[in-house]
Structure 1
Amino acid sequence: MINHFRDEMPRPIIGVAHSMGCAQLVNLSIIHPRLLSTLILFEPVILEAAFGGPNPGLHSSLRRDIWPSRELAEESLSKGLRKWDPRARERYFKYGLRNVPTALYHPSDPNVGPQAVTLTTTKYQESWSYFTPNLEPEHLDRLLLPDWDGEKQRPYLFSRPECWSAMTNLPFLRPSVLWVFGGKSFLSLPEAQEVKMRITGTGVGGSGGVQAGKVEKAILKDGSHMLVFEKVGWCSGTAARWIQKWFNEWLVDEKFWTEYRSRHSDGEMLRFSKEASMVARMPVGTKRGEVLKGKL
């Protein structure tokens, strides 16, 4: 899609995500290593092991999702969103609610009413985003669960495999990364932060990680998992500072690629260069700097 609309989506493209969206951008960057030039990942749900406790989709599946009017819906929802920045809350009301009819609710139902509003994303769709039920017999795992880990996921009644695959992929992440954590978030305990900082970008094909200056973190001391909705100013300022630092480095790299000419071939990329011809005569296992009857 980006290639098709490339005239409207010029590089560099920056990936910004929150919560489970961080896992999606990490996995996208594994599929297309140079598509996103840098990532800003707020409160990532990228895990080594599952947390204990109730199914994370339980609360969503039990929430109220139909109100007689928009005014009553906003009044009801405001209680749970009282810590949100007013601008975020306003946009949630604008885009997170919709008028009936929907596939679930029709105004002809006496329990609904003609002025009723419901959630734009149904509570069931939201719940499914938190867990995928594992309800079929094990002999179907090869067909139904090919991307589920055989030890950490397939034995259990539900999972969300993207969160674990993203953790596995972190060493091979090519874009630079700013991790942003909430100091009071149960998803961002110090040990979870340390693991991400230690492994991100350190594998083959990765950015080089912290040691190469490609991975950093920012912590909002009193921030919760919902910090992007509650502390909009801090989050945007943190992102802006990272983008400014990263963009200056990106310009240097772009200048290199603009001026670089490969020594593999002639100027038209049709024939070996002299250096490539010499390399072709060298045996397997020849190291950089070693030559046979000549210099590169």
Structure 2
Amino acid sequence: MSENRGKKLIDSLKRKGESLEAEMSFFDHLEVLRWHLIRSCIAIVVFTGVAFSYYDFIFDKIILGPKSADFWTYQFMCGLAERFNLGADYCIKDINFNIINTEMAGQFTLQINSSLLMGLVLGFPYLLYEVWRFVKPGLTDKERTSASGFVFYATMLFILGILFGYYVIAPLSITFLANYTVSSVIQNQITIDSYLSSVATLTLGSGIVFELPILIFILSKIGIMTPAFMRSSRRYSSVIILIIAAVITPTPDILTMLTVSFPLFILYEISIMISARVERNREKALMSRD
């Protein structure tokens, strides 16, 4: 009887020790995650400070860029209109709205918020690097090899999305909304908060949307997404992409809508190829085990 009690006591102590070890491991992971987040925040704050220092250039050339008639996108559209005789609707020479401030601290808040947005955009690659450093120790050697280009590809896709959103989606949307009038009596007086919110949402939203192949890669790795499902849903995805393109384009013509939707179709097809590759690698791994 005493020996059985002793064994039970020893087993109980072992279980408590294992539980304590797992608990300590969990808190150790939280501590590591905390430092990754702290370093990411420090990087964003540093880039925010740099943006704050060069704010005159950022505000005049970048933030107000889509409002100016000499913006690159508008000049490019005018060149296409002249070369291919597309009509005056393609050449945007007047963006008819004024930007106003209605708050006492509105301009100061504008500088802080826009500097923070620039810091977030510039610090996003480093944020991805810290995410990769946190996840990497928990991966197998094969998983590390297959995901070794995570930071590079995610950064490149984000930059492409930012450029596409800033040079295509934002200016087309701004000109459409600014020139849309219900009555000539109503004059468009846009608050600076509304303007900044529109530009930031369209630009950052495009950058996030361009991360679709990375998301599909992760979902395919954990078995949630399959290439068969994506191929069978291609028709529905095409309709959704065309609806999005139709909403944000300034004119009802098919050429402008296809210009906006084309990169989204490319991203979807790339995502299908990525999912198919993940599935093939999984099947090869299973066959090698058998």
Report the structure, 1 or 2, having the larger helix content.
2
Q: Which has the higher strand share?
A: 1
TM-score, L = length of structure 1: 0.24
TM-score norm. by structure 2 comes to: 0.24
